[in-house]
Amino acid sequence: MTGSDQQPSGFETRAIHAGQDADSATGAVIVPIHLATTFAQDAVGKHSGFEYGRSGNPTRSALESCVASLEGAARGLAFSSGMAAEDAVLRALAGPGDHIVIPDDAYGGTFRLVSKVLAPTGVRWSSAALASTDALRAAWTDATKVVWVETPTNPNLGIVDIAAVAEVAHERGAVLVVDNTFATPYLQRPIELGADVVVHSSTKYLGGHSDVVGGFVAVADDELGERIGFLQNAVGGVPSPFDCYLVLRGVKTLGVRMDRHCVNATAVAEMLVRHPAVARVLHPGLASHPGHDVAARQMRGFGGMVSFLAAGGEEAALELVARTKVFTLAESLGAVESLIEHPARMTHASAEGSPLAVDPALVRLSVGIETLDDLLADLDQALSR
């Protein structure tokens, strides 16, 4: 696939080829890991487009073009972690005196960044249940500059209507940012629904193999892309060339992985609904989920995450997460292997006592792509003792 005038259109084709022309020097079909920190210039300022490794790197450029294409974005920017990506976005969009609205069940790290890092610099914020645009309107102030949405949310798998929130944000002159980590661009494209900025923890499904920490920002317009790109270079939270290669390699199989994550998670959710040791299952694919209709409209599939409340409360939850054998007890999510965790004591411990605290009976599953029968049998034995 060569030449920028010949853009391949299918998602999987772009995942494998966008930004990844065969290497012009050697013909290598895979983008090389360019370790060079500096690039030769023919004359002062006359160069191939690369000068210094923090400012730009060919392996990083390939990743940035590819994921920007998948998100339907004008520009893509890769970062060293999801949090570095979030920090660059929020610093570009909100300064002292400005106000940010975040979800009342935001990812714990987003809550910590806003409340403990940005708030002391004078940025104001409030949290709202963004599944309702009335709640968003109620949280609005004259200083509101940014609305931050996650959908599905972590760990409650709440759903937010991206198009409806975009309308409210835009009629009032604010920017809409969507954390698309759980859905990935294969299942949901926020920019097509009206979002201005998409962020990812590429550590999760984009990388997909629990072997790289990374972040990504996709921006709908070039002007905003310039502002965030300025911070990427000025602050320097950039990923290494090897990390860029790992994410790019992961993205090639994103479509097939997400298809299998969706199939396995649907079957796990249905099995848990019928299990007497489970009080409630949270998964947007279930017709009983309050966000099911919106999710069915804005997503192509319901994703690989399933959360549930143990009927026996916190004690039962803590016991069962230690009993699984195929599901590994660990933080993080979005990789080929299945993981199980207890959000209140693990990923969301920092939200304890805050409005974002998590139900202690909650168990979160990142359903992997192993053989489905093995996953179902493992959960059944862990729940049935």
Ligand X SMILES: *Cc1c(COP(=O)(O)O)cnc(C)c1O
**204 annotated active-site:** yes
| Structure letter (DSSP) for residue 118 | I
List the alpha helices (DSSP H) in 214-253. 222-235, 241-252
- Residue among 380, 374, 366 nearest 271 (CA): 380
Measured from the CB atom, is 196 or 243 closer to ligand X? 243
Q: Which of these is catalytic: 91, 145, 189, 204?
A: 204
Nearer CB in complex with ligand X: 233/332: 332
What are the backbone angles phi and psi of residue 281, rounded to the nearest 5°?
-110, 135
**Chain contacts with ligand X (rule: CB under 6 A):** 81-83, 107, 109, 150, 154, 179, 181-182, 201, 203-204, 213, 215
Question: DSSP secondary-structure letter at 174?
Answer: P
Nearer to ligand X (CB atom), residue 319 or residue 331: 331
Spatial distance between the Cα atoms of 340 and 244, rounded to a whole number of angstroms: 27
Residue type, 211: D
Q: Which helix (H) or strand (E) holds 329?
A: strand 328-329
Residue number with the smallest Cβ distance to ligand X: 82
**Contact yes or no for 307/359 (Cβ under 8 A):** no
Cβ atoms 301, 284 nearer than 8 A: no
Least distance from ligand X to the Cβ atom of residue 27, Å: 34
- State in angstroms the smallest separation of the CB of 31 from ligand X: 22
179 is catalytic: yes
Which of 30, 35, 33 is CA-nearest to residue 19?
30
Contacts of 75 (CB under 8 A, 6+ apart): 64, 68, 218, 219, 222, 225, 229
* Least distance in angstroms from the C-beta of 209 to ligand X: 14
CB 59 within 8 A of CB 33: yes
State phi, psi for 286 to the nearest 5 degrees.
-80, 135
Q: Which is nearer to ligand X, 98 or 105 (CB)?
A: 105
H helices present in the chain, as ranges: 11-17, 58-71, 82-93, 108-112, 133-139, 162-171, 184-187, 222-235, 241-252, 254-273, 292-298, 313-321, 372-383
Task: In angstroms, give the least distance from the CB of 308 to ligand X.
Answer: 18
Provide, rounded to whole angstroms, the least separation between the CB of residue 76 and ligand X.
16
52 is catalytic: no
User: Of the two residues 14 and 60, which places its CB atom closer to ligand X in the complex?
Assistant: 60
**What minimum distance in Å lies between the beta carbon of 226 and ligand X?**
24
Give the whole-angstrom CA distance, residue 170 versus residue 184.
24
Single out the catalytic residue among 107, 186, 205, 245: 107
Distance of CA 87 to the CA centre of its chain: 14
**Which residue among 54, 172, 260, 300 is the active-site one?**
54
Nearer to ligand X, 213 or 362 (CB): 213
Closer residue to ligand X in complex, CB, 34/204: 204
Q: Cβ of residue 127: shortest distance to ligand X, in angstroms?
A: 15
**Strands 362-366 and 305-310, sheet pairing:** antiparallel
Rounded Cα–Cα distance for residues 138 and 127 (Å): 11
Residues assigned a catalytic role: 54, 107, 179, 204
